[in-house]
Amino acid sequence: MRYDAIVIGAGIGGCAAGCVLAGAGKKVLVLERMGRTGGRCSSEEKFGYKMDLGGHIIIRCEYGPIEEALRRVGKGGVVKFRHLKKLMLKHSGLEVKMGVKMGSKEINNLIFSIIPPEIFTAVSQIMPLASGMMSGIVKQYDDMSIGEMLKKYVKSEQIQDLADLIQFVLFGMPYSLTPAGELLRIALDSTSGLLGSATERELSIGYPLGGLISIPEAMCEGIREKGGEVRLDVDVKKIIIEDERVAGVESADGEVINAPVVISNGGIKETVNDLVGEQYFESGYVDRINGLISGFAPWCLRAALDSSITDIEVALNVPVGNLEEQFSQMWYKRRIPEGMPAHMVISPSNMDPELAPCGKQSLIAYGPVAYNTDDSLDKLEEFALKALEDTFPGFTAHLMWHDFLTPADYAVFGEKEASIIGIAQTFNQVGDKRPSTVSPMEGLYFVGGEAGRDISGVGVELCARSGIACADYIVRTVFQKLGDGGAG
């Protein structure tokens, strides 16, 4: 069998790239080392519960890049999303339960209250005329940290508290390391609400019915229906280079599969160093790739309850006024903070009752930690159980079983540093300084949380965008250059 392209890894980036290529009539083969699709955005059956690999809320749901990728393979509208309705915020000693309608005025106000006035004014004047210019203005803030921006422009403590929440949810990094430009990019990109034309659609935030895995599964089904192939349990050990260009891949079982294009969703450092070999690249490129900084790794506690104890869908629990201190302690000292580390709790079964046996409930708590922390991770497990009881009284009495995932459980997806989102959205790694999806090796591309120049967004959304942008580029340029329009 001759393939136009091989995609290594069926994470969201890999699946999205596969959709675009299959949708364009290319013969694509997706190889996934695990027995299921989705990578970090996936689910598994456990004792009658369908448990996700980590609590997720999805930005832009059916109006964003996930839907775009699905549409490319005729699967538009197949993944249904439950829009977030019941949110709990625990912050600064306050516990607020909200019935939120994402896209409402309050949410827009919250986001835009932290945008510097000069940006606000500039953007509202020029946005309709020149979106290109706007990205130039935002870019100027890529060298200023969110911390500096807040100090300079934001006086209200309340707004500072809200900014804590946003920082936690969007970036999970110390303020001092997150470029303000990236926040602005995400905020501006998320909505044109600034100009009074926000719609609920643009800010749609929710959860996929059927669990996280329903997203990659629908994408893979679409790829197959368009003539592509998705093979599970195939671990790619090597990318074959011949005549200074990609020729195919070799699996751990020694199977050789040829294709002129290989798209890796298996981590940019791991692809360059392990799958290809650094000797095939210029040393400056290898240094740049190896110097990329990954974001925090996750810890995750998944709990199965014998009955429903809360109707909250998502709870954000951010400690009183010391988020930056916590993050800095974890980041620089690799220590787990005392007290209450910031975390998020999601109840998949509240958003889709089919995910737990009738009348029962699932809760998933997760938060950031340094992948190489010097502290025992048992401390986090104990903390998480206590925090769940604090947030949802009766939790302990109704707990049937729980498991606890550590960074090592996520490292199997490729990236050794097991980051929640891939490379951190930090200085020199955002906007036009993000690594390109196009590698210097002819025929080799990267997708997922580690690649995509000028691509911004949050988590899954960003990965889907990187897959779409990469594959669109390949269809536009590479296959035309190859001259035969591909094997398909």
Ligand X SMILES: Cc1cc2nc3c(=O)[nH]c(=O)nc-3n(C[C@H](O)[C@H](O)[C@H](O)COP(=O)(O)OP(=O)(O)OC[C@H]3O[C@@H](n4cnc5c(N)ncnc54)[C@H](O)[C@@H]3O)c2cc1C
Site residues, ligand X (CB under 6 A): 8-14, 31-34, 39-41, 54-59, 235-236, 265-266, 298, 300, 366, 410, 413-414, 420-422, 448-449, 458-461, 463
Four-point Cα dihedral 438, 441, 447, 449, nearest 10: -90
Residue closer to ligand X, measured from CB, 306 or 381: 381
Q: What does the angle CA 472 – CA 475 – CA 480 come to, to the nearest 5 degrees?
A: 150
Please report where in the chains the tokens 């506690």 appear, as a residue: 301
Q: Which long-range contacts (CB under 8 A, 24 or more apart) does 68-72 make?
A: 68/464, 68/468, 69/15, 69/16, 69/19, 69/20, 69/219, 69/464, 69/467, 69/468, 70/19, 70/218, 70/219, 70/222, 72/19, 72/20, 72/22, 72/23, 72/24, 72/222, 72/468
Q: What is the dihedral of CA 198, 204, 205, 210, to 10 degrees?
A: 180
Shortest Cβ 310–ligand X spacing (Å): 19
Q: Which of 149/316 has CB closer to ligand X?
A: 316
Q: Smallest gap, in angstroms, from Cβ of residue 125 to ligand X? A: 32
Smallest gap from Cβ 279 to ligand X, in A, equals 19
Question: Per the structure block, which two tokens stand in for 18?
Answer: 């596969």
DSSP label at 132? H
Rounded to a whole number of angstroms, the minimum distance from the CB of residue 481 to ligand X is: 26
| Backbone conformation region of residue 339, classed left if phi is above 0, alpha if psi is from -120 to 50, else beta | left
Question: Least distance in Å: CB of 266 to ligand X?
Answer: 3
Smallest gap from residue 410 Cβ to ligand X (A): 5
* Minimum distance from residue 233 beta carbon to ligand X (Å): 9
Residue 274 CB, shortest distance to ligand X, in Å, is: 8
Question: For residue 198, with 0-12 CB atoms within 10 Å meaning exposed, 13-18 middle and 19 or more buried, which class applies?
Answer: buried
Our CB check for ligand X shows the closer of 149 and 317 to be 317
DSSP letter for each residue of 26-46:
--EEEE-SSSSS-TTS-EEEE
The answer to whether residues 365 and 88 touch, using CB atoms and an 8 Å cutoff, is no
Q: Which is nearer to ligand X, 123 or 207 (CB)?
A: 207
Of residues 417 and 461, the one with the C-beta less far from ligand X: 461
Separation between Cα atoms, residue 174 and residue 167, nearest integer Å: 8
SS3 content of the chain, % helix, strand, coil (to 5): 40, 20, 40
Residue with Cβ nearer ligand X (57 or 134): 57
Q: In whole angstroms, how close is the CB of 43 to ligand X at the nearest point?
A: 12
Cβ proximity to ligand X, 270 vs 442, nearer residue: 270
Residue 150 or 312: the one with the smaller Cβ distance to ligand X is: 312
Q: Pick the closer one to ligand X by CB: 8 or 51.
A: 8
Identity of the amino acid at 17: A
